[in-house]
Every structure is written in structure tokens, then in C-alpha cells.
A and B are shown apart, each in its own frame.
Chain A
Amino acid sequence: MKQYETVIGLEVHVELATKTKIFCGCKTDFGAAPNTHVCPVCTGMPGALPVLNRKVAELALRAGLALNCRINQICKFDRKNYFYPDNPQNYQISQLYLPICHDGYVEIPAGEGKKRIGIHEIHMEEDAGKLVHDDWSDSTLVDYNRSGVPLIEIVSEPDMRTADEVIAYLEKLQAAMQYLGVSDCRLQEGSMRADVNLSVREIGNPQYGTRTEMKNLNSFKAIAHAIEGERERQIELLEEGQKVVQETRRWDENKEASHAMRSKEDAKDYRYFPDPDLPPVYISDEWIARVRAEQPELKEEKEARYQEEYGLNGYDAGLLTNERALAELFEATIAAGAPPKKAANWLTGETQRLLKEQEQEVSTIRFSAAHLAALIELVEQGVIQSQTAKEVFAAVFSDDVDPEEYVRAHGLGIENDESALEKAVQGILLANPKAAGELKEGKEKVMGFLMGQTMRALKGKANPEKVREMIWSLVKE
């Protein structure tokens, strides 16, 4: 059998974290009642006109600069014409001829080194509404709340060869967008959508094969499966002497198979042309300089700093910085007084374990940095033992409880811990055999001394009455 190489390029839609839509003042909030965040503009009413939300260009610019892109300082919007009910104007306002950013790259880890994945362009566009089929009335309804929500589309060059590279690239984009405050980039929620363009060719062939576009990929797992499935499907076709058809295919994760999407009745011709309602956007040198200056510390920089400044190992630093939210929690925990390494341990250890166990994501973390710092403090002060600390953390993790109150309410402090007390007293008796002997002989005046020693060993966190009882019972044995 011939050896094949897979060639993959990605089109990634990222929903921008703006408060209002791209061309009107309607809110972008998710989950509102249908058609409540709408106006004449985003429902395509006659005579309504789009006005660009400057924040959209700002975020696109931020993304482009972070992805090493060149900026079209005069960029324009174009209309992409096609009829579909989720698209109220029957054209989508997008950018074809002069997108805001072009010719950038990101670096992904590859073996020992790094691999550069080219960014062809980033353009701004509006999202469409949502169609809802109503079985009851056997009709299709449209909700325009999503219509006009701002998106950027990040188009890569066909530089990826494996599913691992694709995932690494997506993680890289995800982290960058989150750090930049451009988007929360949730695949599941659709705030990040990746379409995979894939072709195969015999190794050594300089020509690309015919590519297909795969849609409906809602998780990294689905993306990996789809890449594997599509590679095999195309190779099979070629091996059978058939041709790959250039088409859009829909991935069905349940069936782990794809099918060609219903081809449009006519060949697609979007009749793109410059939108006459929107003047060109001028991006000044000053604007670019300001965005550059305001660019926050990105993952790579944080990762390096955590190792250097806090002495974390590479793995932990990487894990903590994969998502902006976790890095922020880590930094806030330190700010609340926790030693960096201890904070890192909790966030890379127990936190990750519980997230995995409960099938949750970093974004769903509920506990506060203050409470994690308080818990670490309790352990440091010896108020609770490390085993107990895990129990307390589980409560902090699930309900963001105040660890001190929790320990008090549940009697989890060392003073209430029989075995810890026994261990401490045994240690004191062993260390002071003379006093222990005298007490056994009835010389009660040494009791004060032994109690004092025990209390000191327990840092005062013990009930004196119980200490007295424990000393007695152990001495008498």
C-alpha cells in the first residue's frame, strides 16, 4: 500500500466577548428568551442600517497582533449573499477582499522543538440566527438573538499533518483568545467552532489532493475522530481508483462517520461585493501601538515566569497556564498569602483530579482563591492534617465553603483528632521518660510539664482536658 500524508487546514470561528452585537446595540447574552435581544438591524427590517461596533475591530486587532499577523490598516466589509431563514438580510456581512489581519502564525510544540502553523487571515463577520423546529406545529421558527453576534474567523494555512497537531493548534488559539479577553472559546457552547479542511496525498507529491470540509465538530475528541475517519475514507477512495469530491461533510460523533451535506441546488456563488452601508475601517498606527502596549501576559510568558519566579516545574507551569482562568486563580491564591508551590500543588493535583472525576472544566470552578489560601494556611499552621485537608478541600471545591468554619463545624481540627493527640502524647512521653516515670509513680506535679510539652507540640490547638486524659491513659498502660 502507498504511504499517504494528511494535509489539514482549519477555519476556526471565535465568538467575540463583546457586550453588544457587531452592527447594532442589542445584547449578546446567551440563553435569553427567543427574539428578545433583537432590533430592526439584526432582524433585517426594511431601511435598517448596520453600524460597526468598534470593540469588534479592537478585539480582532488584539487577536491578530497576538497571532503575529499583518494588519490591513484600511479594511472593508463585504456582503456574502445567500438565502437562508437564519440570515435575516439574506446576506452575511463578512470580509473577503480586505480582511483585518493576514499572514500570521502560531507555534505549536512538535517533538523536541516547535512547528509554525501559518495564519492565512482573520476576518470579522456576523453570526446568524438559530432555527428551531417545532414538532407540535410542524413548522420551523427562527430566533434572531444570535443574529449579529460578532465573530472572527481564523483561517490557517494547510500546515497541519496530524490530529495531534490540530489539537495543539486549537489549544494554542484557545489559550491566546482567553488570555487576550477576546473570547471564552468554549467548543461545547459553540463560542469556538472549528471546520476541518482535509486532503491526503502520496508522500513526496508536491501537489495537494482534493480537500473536503468537515463541520459539526464539538469537541477535541470529535475533531480527532473526524480527522482519522476522513483520512481513511479518502485513502480508501483513492486506493479504489476513485476521486475525492470537493464537498462539505457533516461529522456525526455518535456514528463516528461523516456524510456529505445536502448540496445546494445550484453551485455556490455568494456574489461577494463591498457592503455600501459600511465605510472602510481605518486602523491607525496609534491604535495598533495602543493594542500592542495593552496586550496582557500570554501563556508562554506566564509559563516561563512561573518556573523562574516560583520554581515550579515545567509540567505544572504548563498545566496552570493552559487556561487563563486557572492561571488567574493561581495568582489570586498567591496574592491571598499562599506559598506559590503549595497553591500550585492544590491546583494541579486535587483540583484536576476532582475536575476529571466530576467531568467538569476549569471554567466551572466555583471556589475562591481566598478559600484555597485559607485552607493552605490551616495546613501550614498544623490546624489540620494533610489527609483532613483533602476532605476539607472537597467541600471547598464543590461549595466554596470557608475552610476555617468548615473545620470548626465538623470538628476536624487536630484538637479533636484522637489519633493525632495519641501520637503527640506518645512522642512527648518517649522524649521525657523521666517525667513519664514520675507521673506513673503518682507525682502529679509533672503533669503540668507534660501537658505543656504536648500543647506546644500541637501548637496549642488541643483541648487541655483531653490532653490530660490522654496522658493519664497512656502513662497507665
Chain B
Amino acid sequence: MQLTELTAVELGNKIRTGEIGAVEAAQASLEQIGRLDFRVQAYLTVEPEKVLLQAAEVERGIRSGALTGALAGVPIAVKDNICTKDMKTTCASRILENFVPFYDAEAVVRLKDAGLVVLGKTNMDEFAMGSTTETSAFQTTKNPWELSHVPGGSSGGSCAAVAAGECFAALGSDTGGSIRQPSSYCGVAGIKPTYGTVSRYGLIAYASSLDQIGPIAKDVRDCAALLEVIAAQDKKDSTSMARPDTNFLQAVGQSVKGLRVGIPTEYLSEGLDDDVQEAVMRAAGYLKEAGAVVEEFKLGLMEYTIPAYYVIASAEASSNLERFDGVKYGYRAKEYEGLHDMYKRSRSEGFGPEVRRRIMLGSFVLSSGYYDAYYLKALRVRARIKQAFDEAFSGYDMILGPAAPTAAPRLGTSLADPMKMYLSDIYTVAVNLAGLPGLTVPCMVNAEGLPIGVQLIGDCFAEKKLFAAGAGLEAVRGPWMQSDLVRGEEQK
């Protein structure tokens, strides 16, 4: 068995016992990146010298006893909208092409403090706007399971890197499904935590009231271990919360006997691919086998979630992205006449079409005369959606459903029809609107060789239940497969 096949927790254990060195692990990841990333193109930035320096330092910390965490020495990838000190952070956008932050995001501070080694920055949809990672201004990331397919998005680079063994875990961000959907497409586990669990300080905002950083890893246990590292109240983020229950690893392996799981009937209706429906049914079977009670119920309000989400997310984005103006940092147009022309040209040239579309949409719904009709109405819908979930959780411990209506689509087939792309977020956006945690667990591989995951949605602060159920599901499912690409490498 190759080193890169280990899970993050397994590797952490071996590093702690001295069986594997942190530098050795980092080297293994760098080698895997060297072997595969020219094909997968998951990373935007990898700086091997810095990686090895940090790994050496971590190794000293582990030997001296200063670093004792479960994941100390584990190499990790970070999505490129999360600020990393002295390492380019571009949001996969021309406008931040050469932006190097002089501060780490709080989540990255916590990673480094726990001894995780940051390998580099992963590709994404520009400013996290997209579902395929194809809106990146720089490169197209491929799905390691089938290189002609997308990895999903917007955290497609992080999910592809984990799936390709080019890191042991990764940080992603999820505003409307950007961790859960690509996790399903790439056959990895990923969780969007309850809003406020992980500090957003240093996460370049797309939609502030929806954004959360979360772990992406090979299995549920790794997600729990990584969330335990990054979850903490941060006084630099007023929306972050104090939680007493961040010992998530403890939940992995706990019994799911008697757990009540509801499947919204709406989730299984029109528009859902047969393969995905099968995956949900299989997952229901696994959970039942593990002792859970699974039933269908009516959740309601599904038809309003997409419009409400795109109104709110675009409105916040239009304001959040105003700071990218060519004045202080980032891209400035080469030629312009006067201040306003500089703004217009810098932003028109610096932002890609999908970002421009959402800025226009967001500006429109906030403009006077439309604010009440769109933005305020969307806020009211949001409150109703939260109510619907509250009702659901009065009867069920969690909700089971798809993470996306299909398996990963082919490259180049999604961007032409933005409406269709937006509608594919139907199973994920409501979770962000309600601030809930959602966990994607790999479930099956379809006839095309593409993985499909399912989503477990919990009430606010119910991550432990999700981890217990997710791990229980995995246990019944059996060991997860690897893509041909990764297997091919192993056979060589």
C-alpha cells in the first residue's frame, strides 16, 4: 500500500509514532502532485521548497513534543479563496492574479498551529461562483475518476486533489453546495459545518451570510478530525460562535441505532438522475442496516430555494466584490481615462463572465424600487425555509438526500446554460440558507465509472450526529474504491 493511500488520521497516527516522518509525507504528496497534477490540474499554486521547510519544522515540533495533535504532519491543500500568508491567493480570478496576502485566514492559522503542512492552493470557480470549476480564469480541473468530466465546484480543485491522492485532506468553502456537490462528483467526503462554526476571517467572501469553510477528505473520520482542528470561535469574526461540542472525532463510530432519518419526497421527484436516486436508496439501506429508521416525508418550499438563494447570494456578492477596484491591490487596467474609467475597465477586464453576471444580478435586486420585491422577499423566504427545516428536525434526527441531481457532467457542457447550472444546486442551497450542517458521503460508482455521494443534513450544531451516521453508512458500505487514474499510478 502506498503512503498516499492512507487516510489523514492513519497518516497522523504513523507520524506520531515515528513510523513516517512529516517531511516524508510531504514529499509523498509533492511526488503525487508531480505525477498526476499535470493531468488533473487541481492546484493553482504549489511551492515545494516552502512545503518542505514547513514539514521539517513540524517534524521538529512533533519530536520535541510541542505538536501532539491527531493530524500533526499531515499534508493538506487549501482552496484558493482562503488567504495564506506569503502565498498567492487568487480566487481563480484575473483580478487577484498576483495577490499575496500578508495574513493567514484564521482557519489556516489553526491548521498551522495543529502542525498540518500546507501543500498549496487549489483551483476553484472564480470567486466560488460556479458548479464545475470551469469558471476559473486559469485552468480547467479534471475529475480524477474520468478526466473528460468536471470535478464539480466551486471547491473542485480541493475535491479533485483529495480524490487523486495529491493531498490527504483539503479545505473548501461552501456557499450553496460548493463542498458537498464536488465531493459527490469526486467520490470524497466533505462537510459544510453549521454557519458560525469555522471563522470566516481570511475567507474571501462570496456571500457572507452563507459562506462556511469546511473539510474535504477521504472519509468521514478525516472530516471530523479536520473540523475539530478548524472549528473555534474567533473574535475577528463576529458571526463565529462559541461551541462546547467540537470534539467531533468522538462521534465517529458511535451507534446509529434508532436514529431517525427522513428523506424528503420532493428530493426523489422529477429532475433526479436514476443513478443518484439509486445512490440515495442504497444509502437508506446502509443506514437501516446500521439500525437507523428511514422514512420519507414532505419538506416543502423546494421550489423557492433556488430563486431565494441566487437573490441573496448575488446581492451580498455584488457588495463584497466592490473592494476589487484596482486601487489598492490586484488587477488594474493598463489604460484608462480618469477614475471611473479605471474602475470600469479594471473590473470588466478582471472579472470573468459568471462573476460579472452575479454582480449585475445582485446590484439589480438591491437597487431602489426592486429591493422590497426581490431582496426583502428572498429574506422572508429564507426565514420560511428555516422554519420548514425546524419542523423536519422536530421529527427526524437528520435528512438524507442527494448532493446533486446527477453524477459529474462532461467538461464544457454546463456553462452555456447558466439557468440549468443554477437549478442543479437544488439539493444544497437550502442548507446554506438555513445555516445547517451538510455532509456528503461517497456511496456508489455508476456505470460510467463516476462516483456518486449522498448528503446528510443535520439541525444546527448536529455535526456529531452527522459524523456518527456518515461513518455508520461507510462501515456498511465497505471500503471505498479509487479512481482508475490513481489505481493506474499504483500499478506502475
Contacts and interface: CB of A to CB of B under 8 A. Distances in A.
Nearest to A24: B236
B366 A278 contact: no
Contact of B319 (A47, A51, A79, A142): A79
A85 interface: yes
Contacts of B368: 269, 271
A409 B204 CA distance: 69
A88 B323 CA distance: 6
Nearest to B368: A269
Nearest to B211: A276
A266 B319 CA distance: 18
Contact of A44 (B102, B316, B323): B323
Given A88-B328, A271-B367, A277-B208, A49 B237 contact: yes
Nearest to B207: A276
B68 interface: no
Given A269-B368, A271-B366, A276-B209, A47 B322 contact: no
A89 B315 CA distance: 15
Q: Is the interface of B mostly helix, strand, loop or mixed?
A: loop
Interface string A66-92: 000000000000010101010011110
Contacts of A142: 327-328
A355 interface: no
A40 interface: yes
Contacts of B91: 46
Contacts of B209: 276
A332 to B, nearest CB: 40
A83 B323 CA distance: 9
A46 to B, nearest CB: 4
A91 B238 contact: no
Nearest to A52: B238
Interface string A263-276: 00100010111001
Nearest to A270: B368
Given A83-B343, A142-B327, A273-B315, A45 B101 contact: yes
A273 B323 contact: no
Nearest to A264: B340
Given A88-B328, A271-B367, A46 B238 contact: no
A91 B99 CA distance: 21
B160 to A, nearest CB: 23
A88 to B, nearest CB: 6
B323 A47 contact: no
Contacts of A90: 322-323, 325
State which size class the interface on A falls in: 20 to 34
A273 B99 contact: no
B328 A50 contact: no
A85 B235 contact: no
Interface in B287-340: 315-316, 318-319, 322-325, 327-329, 339-340
Contacts of B324: 46
A237 B209 CA distance: 50
B319 A81 contact: yes
A245 interface: no
Contacts of B205: 47, 277
A91 B239 contact: no
Contacts of B363: 271
A254 B103 CA distance: 47
Given A90-B322, A269-B367, A49 B201 contact: yes
Contact of A47 (B202, B207, B235): B202
Given A47-B202, A81-B319, A90-B322, A277 B366 contact: no
Given A40-B103, A88-B323, A277-B239, A47 B201 contact: yes
B318 to A, nearest CB: 8
Contacts of A34: none
Given A45-B101, A271-B363, A277-B239, 10 more contacts: A40-B102, A46-B83, A46-B96, A46-B101, A47-B203, A48-B202, A88-B328, A91-B319, A269-B367, A272-B371
11 contacts: A46-B99, A47-B204, A47-B205, A49-B239, A85-B325, A85-B339, A269-B367, A273-B371, A276-B208, A276-B316, A279-B238
